[in-house]
């Protein structure tokens, strides 16, 4: 009797002797439902995703879309160990999120609104994750999922509302730069008149393409490397003035080249090449800003996942 009582007490009072659930066994039952839902989503979104990839290929404003899923996948891969040990608990809050995604899908399909149609895929996946694995695991995948919105082209109305003021800023700032450099310049709206050439600041020269790409890079870089939320916000916000200054410098340099060597240096290969140079310069300025912020801000604590 004494031995049995002592064994029972030791077994009940020693948590190390209790069996521990293995994460692999917890996640394994989700494999079959996951494959089924993946197949259904592939059938449902095959055409929208195909047209999305085609737009990445043909529209230079969104060519960065090819990189966004790769970055998102890398972020998920970084969290693979935390996901493997995260508790799997179903949560009801996923159902409203799933219904919201289905509503966006139907509204985007009926109203021919590509942004809603394409965004609904991300919302539906978020809802399915919440339903099947709960909030703890969802916190780990929330940012990689949200980052996928960068691969979806903006609605045309939003795009042009951003592009028009950027065009005006590019014209004003580049004209000012040329004037500072001693080049006679006359600004007429978005048209810059020089003595021997006229430059029109079109939508493609507004800098919207550079801004969208830099924002996507800045958000990922900030999340991966910067030590605090304040530094992350400042860094992402810095991509806006960097874009404005870099694009104005590109227009001013194009004007100088056209004025000195001929209008052919303001178009074709030289125009495309200057765009790449400006992107490299803007990216270097962004990285310099990140390096400065990493030094002046305190370290961000390591990501912790609660098992409760």
φ, ψ at 300 (rounded to 5°): -85, 135
Q: Would you say residue 71 has pLDDT above 90?
A: yes
- Taking Cα atoms as reference points, which of 167, 213, 171, 172 lies closest to residue 65? 213
What are the Cα distances from residue 62, in Å, to 43, 199, 202, 243? 24, 25, 17, 16
- Of the candidates 63, 68, 69, 58, the one whose C-alpha atom is nearest the C-alpha of residue 209 is 63
pLDDT for 180 = 86
pLDDT (0 to 100) of residue 150 = 93
Question: Domains of the chain: which residue ranges?
Answer: 21-153, 157-296
Structure pTM? 0.78
- What's the CA gap between 262 and 186, in Å, rounded? 18
Task: Output the CA torsion sign for 226, 230, 232, 238.
Answer: negative
pLDDT tens-digit profile of 127-143? 988 888 888 888 889 99
Average pLDDT over residues 107-132: 89
Euclidean distance between CA atoms 262 and 123, whole angstroms: 51
pLDDT tens sequence across 139-188: 889 999 999 999 999 988 888 888 888 888 888 888 888 888 888 888 88
Average pLDDT over residues 74-99: 85
Give the pLDDT confidence of 41-54 residue by residue, as tens digits: 888 888 889 999 99
Give the range with max mean pLDDT: 105-114, 254-263, 266-275, 294-303: 105-114
User: Would you state the pLDDT for residue 14?
Assistant: 42
Sign of the CA dihedral with 123 first, then 128, 134, and 136 last: negative
For residue range 185-218, what is the model confidence (pLDDT) as tens digits?
A: 888 877 888 877 777 777 667 788 889 999 999 9
């Amino acid at each position: 009797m004494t031995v049995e009582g002592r064994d029972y007490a030791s077994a009940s009072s020693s948590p190390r002797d209790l069996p521990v659930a293995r994460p692999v066994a917890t996640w394994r039952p989700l494999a079959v439902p996951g494959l089924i839902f993946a197949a259904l989503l592939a059938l449902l979104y095959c055409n929208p995703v195909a047209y999305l990839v085609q737009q990445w290929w043909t529209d230079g404003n969104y060519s960065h879309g090819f990189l966004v899923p790769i970055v998102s996948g890398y972020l998920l891969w970084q969290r693979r160990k935390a996901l493997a040990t995260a508790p799997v608990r179903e949560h009801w809050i996923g159902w409203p999120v799933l219904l919201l995604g289905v509503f966006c899908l139907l509204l985007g399909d009926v109203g021919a609104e590509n942004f809603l149609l394409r965004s609904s895929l991300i919302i539906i996946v978020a809802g399915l994750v919440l339903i099947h694995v709960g909030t703890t695991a969802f916190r780990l995948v929330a940012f990689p999922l949200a980052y996928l919105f960068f691969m979806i082209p903006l609605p045309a109305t939003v795009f042009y509302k951003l592009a028009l003021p950027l065009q005006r800023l590019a014209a004003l700032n580049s004209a000012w730069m040329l004037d500072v450099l001693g080049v006679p310049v006359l600004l007429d709206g978005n048209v810059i008149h020089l003595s021997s050439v006229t430059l029109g600041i079109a939508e493609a020269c507004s800098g919207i393409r550079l801004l969208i790409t830099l924002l996507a890079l800045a958000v990922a870089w900030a999340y991966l490397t910067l030590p605090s939320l304040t530094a992350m916000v400042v860094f992402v916000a810095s991509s806006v003035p960097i874009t404005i200054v870099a694009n104005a410098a590109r227009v001013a340099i194009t004007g100088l080249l056209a004025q000195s060597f001929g209008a052919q240096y303001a178009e074709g290969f030289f125009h495309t090449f200057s765009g790449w140079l400006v992107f490299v310069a803007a990216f270097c300025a962004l990285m310099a800003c990140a390096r400065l912020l990493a030094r002046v801000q305190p370290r961000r604590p390591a990501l912790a996942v609660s098992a409760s």
